Structure 1
Amino acid sequence: MEPWHVDETLDSLVLAEGAVAVEIPASWGAEVSTQLRSAGPLGPILAIPGPRLRWLFLARPDPGPEPRHVPPPDVRYWHGPRRIPATASRWVVPPAGALPPVGAVRCAIRTVRRFL
């Protein structure tokens, strides 16, 4: 069983213990996913509409203690167990295969932000 699922009755993404979702502005999404794909597996990505379209990259936690990390503005990390509001969401990349480590997602975001 996956450590997360979309609960359509409550319009939310449900993260289990140990699951991670990284929320970024959709305007960065394609570039971050390209960077991530070149480094290894590209996990599921969920688009969440709202005042600003956001993408959620699903990932697995890094092994060991979590490194000290201050996310850039507009980036948010969600750690399970938790419900994330996801009204009218859609899959940009449907679930299939392995999840990337959250450190790889963090690295892809840093690479893309250097060029923004």
Structure 2
Amino acid sequence: MHNWLVDGEDALLLDEGVVAVEVPAGWAGEVSHQLRSAGPLGPILAVAGARIRWLFLAEYEPEPAQRYVLPPDVRCWDGPRRLETGALRWVVAPGRSALPTVGAVRCAIRTVRRSLL
């Protein structure tokens, strides 16, 4: 099982093997819905700021041969790392279920982005 830690209320500590995918809050709820219908929905954090964004925590997996390019407003960080975030709150608190793979999160993003265009 992978670990992460909210350090105070302004940083996220990611262990090796954990990925944080940042999605704008305006359409992150749809990504969450897509993930829930496809399998496990891992922890999600909301990051306050000028633009609220959600961090989807996922399990690392090697990049596929045909790499999916993330939209310009989506960012991805691999652990181990300390992510300076500003104020955080749980949208989906950590549970006992497995983390989705980062590929599943990318697939949900791709599905939602297609419906928005």
Superposition TM-score, scaled by structure 2 size:
0.90
Give the AA of the match of 2:114: R
| SS across alignment from 1:114 | helix
Aligned to 1:48: 47
Aligned to 2:111: 111
5 Å matches for 1:4-15?
Answer: 4-8=4-8, 11-15=10-14
In structure 1, stretches of 5+ residues that fail to align are none
1:13 Cα deviation (Å)? Answer: 0.3
- Which 4+ runs in 1 deviate beyond 3 A? none
**Counterpart mapping for 1:85-104 below 5 A:** 85-96=84-95, 97-104=97-104
SS in 1 for 2:112: helix
Structure 2 residues without counterparts, runs of 5 or longer: none
CA apart distance, 1:86: 2.4
Rounded to whole Å, the distance in 2 between the matches of 1:14 and 1:69 is 26
CA offset at residue 16 of structure 1? 1.2
Where does 1:28-67 land on structure 2 (aligned, <5 Å)?
Answer: 28-62=27-61, 65-67=62-64
Aligned residue for 1:23, secondary structure, equals strand
Indicate the residue corresponding to 1:16 in structure 2: 15
Could you tell me the percent identity over the aligned residues?
69
TM-score (norm. length: structure 1)? 0.91
Shift of 1:115: 1.4
Aligned partner of 1:26 in structure 2 is 25
Report the alpha carbon displacement of residue 71 of structure 1 after superposing the two structures with TM. Answer: 1.0
Shift of 1:85: 1.6
- CA-based RMSD: 1.3
Cα 1:27/1:50, change in 2 over 3 Å: same
1:74-113 Cα deviation digits (max 9, x unpaired):
0101101111122221000000021001111000000000
SS at match of 2:115: coil
Number of equivalenced pairs? 113
Distance, in Å, in 1 between the alignment partners of 2:45 and 2:28 is: 10
